Amino acid sequence: MPLNTSDIFFISIFIVIIVVHELYNRGILTMEMLYAIAGENVTMYAILGIVLFIIRKNMYASPPPNPTPISTTLDADIKELKRDNLSIKNEITRMQNQSEWRSEVRSQGL
């Protein structure tokens, strides 16, 4: 399994952290030495740079999601709504015709 650049970067950061931690625990590296090598601002900038690098890699690493085919579902829904609308119009027309027929029958006295 080949490693990409991001994996190599994370492994190297992990190794550096482990080495610095071990050197500090054994007394070889002291806080004064660390501050002499990299002051407080440099450490904060390094942490900020690593975080921004990780965020940038993660944002561009994932492919954009595939859009769902909305047009096919919308076409089916529109056709169904048109059919329902037509059936309602037919029902209203039938009710009006029936009402007119009843009023006409009443006016004739049948």
What tens digit of pLDDT does each residue of 44-70 get? 778 888 888 877 776 665 666 676 666
* pLDDT value at 34 more than 70: yes
Length of the chain: 110
Rounded to two decimals, the pTM is 0.36
Residue 7: per-residue pLDDT: 77
DSSP-based three-state secondary structure for 31: helix
* pLDDT value at 86 more than 70: yes
- How far is residue 4's CA from residue 77's CA, in Å, rounded to a whole number? 46
- Helices and strands in the chain, H and E counts: 4, 0
Secondary structure element (H or E) that encloses residue 20, with its range: helix 5-25
The residues spanned by each domain of the chain are 5-61, 69-110
